[in-house]
Amino acid sequence: NKQVFLNDYVSGFPEESNLYLTTSSIKLKVPEDQGGKDAVLVKNLYLSCDPFMRGRMQRDLPPDRPELSSYSLGSPIVGFGVGRVVDSRHSDFKKGDLVWGSTIGWEEYTILSEFVPFSFTGMPGMTAYFCFFDIGSPKEGDSVYVSAASGAIGQLVGQFAKLIGCYVVGSAGSKEKVELLKTKFGYDDAFNYKDEHDLDAALKRYFPEGIDIYFENVGGKMLDAVLVNMRLHGRIAVCGMISQYNLEQPESVQNLSAVFYKQIRMEGFAVYEHYHRYSKFLDFVLPCIKEGKIVYVEDITEGLESGPAALVGLFSGRNVGKQVVKVAQE
Ligand code: NDP
């Protein structure tokens, strides 16, 4: 059983060398004693690379992130994934079933005893859907700006906004991603934030009359530039701040006073509080997918060996679309 472990806890930017691959032997049977819990043995097929995994790589977690726990150095790292049941001691699952989980080990085979019923695209999809609609309160004609727009979440937010008739601009970190935003995801316009030395000027170019909704994925300097370009009664849906996760000292935000003088509604979001609303998300998204109204781009790397580079690549923008690791052929 090939497995990916964390070498030691990380501070600063994670590197591929923070993770290592090793092999252990495993019996392809669920052991009888699983602490009284029903369990299945799963052959892992796909692993999801998500920015929150960076948080779990550090020893000391911020006290305001109670939902996270540090990875144990003695077991493989875990995350969202998809696998096929090869042995079952659980009445709900039989050999051959496909399962989705949030505690899939980065290994070829995992024993699962806790199940969360959604796919690997479900978590980012739910985040995009509830964070955008609940906090953004979008309506036809609104001007929407999305940062990290070509990623797992951003690509969907732009499409949701277009479905209800908003004007949508996204930013991303390469020419290729900017093209994708305009040609594949239907963004009205897009720019490469790395080419802009003056983010304020860039935003004024795309939003001469200001931004109604900012879908915040990155934080830092981008947030500062957005604040001065928001319209009166604008909404900022704070989904994430990936530019800050690896900094010892988070950057300070200079223009926060815009929140009160423009009467901006700025609200954070945590997807784990919304899992019980999964069916609402599916009711919306499944017909859209069937009718071809929503497309989704994944960046799939092959083999567990490719996992560490794929995971840390999220923080340099290596991924184009949702980053997934394919562990085995179905
Ligand atoms: P992505 O698929 O968008 O991958 C991360 C992308 O972020 C990279 O491809 C890169 O794209 C961009 N990025 C990396 N570093 C920086 C930086 N320093 N400045 C600007 N952009 C950067 O990830 P997700 O869609 O999964 O996640 C997007 C955000 O949503 C993250 O902040 C994540 O933490 C958050 N999130 C929040 C959840 C919640 O419940 N609130 C749940 C899941 C995710 P580029 O080339 O464009 O720079």
Could you report the per-residue pLDDT of 83-98, keeping only the tens digit for each?
999 999 998 899 999 9
| CA-closest residue to ligand 1 atom 1 | 151
284 assigned to some structural domain: no
Contact between residue 217 and residue 154 where contact means Cβ atoms under 8 Å apart: yes
Ligand 1 atom index nearest CA of 50: 26
Cα-to-chain-centroid distance, residue 204: 28
Structural domains of the chain, count = 2
Whether residues 131 and 255 share a domain: the answer is yes
pLDDT for 150: 97
283 assigned to some structural domain: no
Instruction: Classify the complex by whether its ipTM is higher than 0.95, answering yes or no.
Output: yes
CATH number at residue 148: 3.40.50.720
| CA-closest residue to ligand 1 atom 28 | 217
Whether residues 195 and 248 share a domain: the answer is yes
Whether residues 45 and 7 share a domain: the answer is yes
Q: Using the mean position of ligand 1's atoms as its centre, give its distance from the Cα of residue 137 in Å.
A: 22
Whether residues 164 and 245 share a domain: the answer is yes
Test site for ligand 1: of 68, 118, 153, 273, most ligand atoms within 8 A of the Cβ: 153
Ligand 1 atom index nearest CA of 220: 19
Smallest Cα–Cα separation from 161: which of 193, 195, 137? 137
Least confident of 111-115, 154-158, 207-211, 258-262: 111-115
**C-alpha Rg value of the chain to the nearest Å:** 21
| CA-closest residue to ligand 1 atom 7 | 148
pLDDT for 68: 80
Q: Using the mean position of ligand 1's atoms as its centre, give its distance from the Cα of residue 148 in Å.
A: 6
CATH number at residue 114: 3.90.180.10
Contact between residue 325 and residue 301 where contact means Cβ atoms under 8 Å apart: yes
Whether residues 137 and 225 share a domain: the answer is yes
Bridge partner list, 191: 171
* pTM for the full predicted model: 0.90
The domain containing residue 20 runs over which residues?
A: 2-121+298-326
Whether residues 88 and 230 share a domain: the answer is no
Q: Using the mean position of ligand 1's atoms as its centre, give its distance from the Cα of residue 304 in Å.
A: 22
Whether residues 102 and 29 share a domain: the answer is yes
